[in-house]
């Protein structure tokens, strides 16, 4: 148990049974004259060999500040600390030049008990923002929680994970300070992870967009491979019907992708029911022709009633590996997965 007292000057008498044990007398007299708002921290370490009394100075450095809802308030962009506060408290501290008013430990953002820099925070936000396809806060939160969960699982810093192929966002960089709707939703989602709010994904570590339901198990993809990668990486795929329905209803009836020369399909080995067509469009005075591939949604594996015997979607891939995946939530046009060694459906 810890005891705190703050005073500008004068003598302070602290009365406590635990303090008595610590200092060897009933009343502890502490003289604070001559100090400007110091903080004294007395830790009860009666179960330890040594007893510790520490003086913690207030931090009056200007860092960078956001609201819990994701609004950028101001501060130093190269800050190695990130704080959340209210606009009213920020304005008050700025007017008085007393940043210690809002540089509070309980408002300091941390990743796994370590301070997170503004550079790291903004980089994470940029990836989460560009992974999301809607302006639904839940989608931002799902992406934030799933990617964070994965970083914890593999013992990697959040930013470092997102800098890898785990995220397909191109040209990765730090998000700007703008307060547009997507910026604020992104920050709010990332902050919700860092302050330990409830994980709405129930431990998800991965997600897929429209491609999962469009390519399924047998369609030749725009990358000239058979089936979406999840059908080749895990031993089973399980989707509760309520999650599947929400995911399906968020999609259009088909999805169209570019067909590039590098991954051009071979008609003799093409698999599935997708259609190839050429789209004509004007580019200045020129006419441009683009090869396209259209996939019907959902792919046939999701229409096979043999995969719905339990009422939920369940598909065994015959892949010899430890884990299968179970969908936990659908948000936006994405579906989110957690790893499992065993199925849950009966």
Mean pLDDT of the chain: 88
Q: What is the pLDDT of residues 216-230, one digit of tens each?
A: 999 999 999 999 999
**Given the DSSP bridges, would you call strands 334-340 and 206-208 parallel, antiparallel or unpaired?**
antiparallel
Residue 22 has pLDDT above 50, yes or no: no
Task: Give yes or no for a contact between 325 and 296, defined as CB atoms under 8 angstroms apart.
Answer: no
Q: Which residue has the higher pLDDT, 284 or 128?
A: 128
Q: Which of 148, 134, 127 is nearest to 199 (CA)?
A: 148
The per-type count for the chain, helices as H runs and strands as E runs, is: 9, 18
* pLDDT confidence band for 344 (50 / 70 / 90): confident
**Given the DSSP bridges, would you call strands 82-84 and 64-66 parallel, antiparallel or unpaired?**
parallel
- The whole-number average pLDDT for the span 45-70 is 73
CA 238/CA 74 separation, integer angstroms: 45
* pLDDT confidence band for 47 (50 / 70 / 90): low
CA 101/CA 121 separation, integer angstroms: 22
Task: Give yes or no for a contact between 254 and 297, defined as CB atoms under 8 angstroms apart.
Answer: yes
Residue 30 has pLDDT above 60, yes or no: no
* pLDDT confidence band for 4 (50 / 70 / 90): very low
Residue 3 has pLDDT above 70, yes or no: no
Determine the pLDDT at residue 37.
Answer: 44
> Residue ranges of the domains in the chain?
2-56, 64-115, 119-194, 208-340
- The whole-number average pLDDT for the span 87-115 is 97
Determine the pLDDT at residue 32.
Answer: 41
Residue 298 has pLDDT above 80, yes or no: yes
Other CB atoms within 10 Å distance of the CB of residue 183? 20
Determine the pLDDT at residue 44.
Answer: 54
- The whole-number average pLDDT for the span 298-308 is 98
Q: Which of 233, 227, 244 is nearest to 328 (CA)?
A: 244
Pick the range with the lowest mean pLDDT from 11-25, 64-78, 106-120, 320-334. Answer: 11-25
């Amino acid at each position: 148990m810890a005891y705190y007292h703050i005073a500008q000057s004068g003598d302070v008498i602290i009365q406590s049974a635990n303090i008595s044990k610590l200092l060897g007398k009933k009343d502890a007299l502490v003289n604070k004259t001559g100090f400007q708002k110091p903080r004294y921290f007395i830790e009860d370490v009666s179960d330890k060999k040594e007893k510790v009394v520490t003086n913690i100075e207030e931090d009056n450095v200007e860092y960078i500040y956001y609201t819990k809802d994701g609004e950028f308030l101001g501060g130093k962009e190269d800050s190695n600390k990130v704080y959340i506060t209210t606009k009213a408290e920020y304005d008050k501290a700025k007017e008085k030049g007393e940043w210690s008013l809002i540089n509070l430990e309980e408002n300091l953002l941390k990743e796994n008990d370590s301070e997170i820099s503004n550079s790291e925070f903004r980089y994470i936000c940029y990836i989460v923002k560009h992974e999301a396809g809607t302006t639904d806060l839940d989608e931002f939160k799902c992406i934030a929680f799933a990617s964070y969960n994965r970083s914890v699982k593999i013992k990697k810093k959040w930013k470092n994970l997102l800098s890898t192929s785990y995220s397909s966002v191109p040209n990765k960089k730090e998000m700007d300070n703008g307060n547009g709707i997507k910026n604020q939703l992104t920050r709010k989602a990332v902050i919700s992870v860092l302050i330990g709010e409830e994980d709405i994904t129930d431990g998800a570590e991965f997600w897929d967009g429209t491609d999962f339901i469009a390519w399924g198990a047998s369609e030749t993809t725009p990358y000239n491979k058979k089936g979406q990668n999840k059908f080749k990486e895990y031993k089973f795929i399980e989707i509760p019907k309520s999650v599947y329905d929400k995911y399906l209803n968020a999609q259009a009836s088909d999805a169209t992708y570019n067909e590039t020369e590098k991954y051009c399909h071979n008609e003799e080995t093409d698999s599935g029911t997708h259609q190839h067509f050429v789209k004509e469009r004007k580019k200045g005075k020129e006419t441009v022709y683009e090869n396209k591939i259209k996939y019907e949604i959902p792919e046939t594996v999701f229409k096979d009633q043999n995969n719905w015997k339990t009422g939920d979607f369940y598909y065994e891939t015959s892949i010899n590996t430890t884990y299968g995946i179970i969908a936990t939530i659908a948000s936006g046009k994405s579906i989110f997965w957690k790893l499992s060694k065993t199925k849950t459906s009966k």
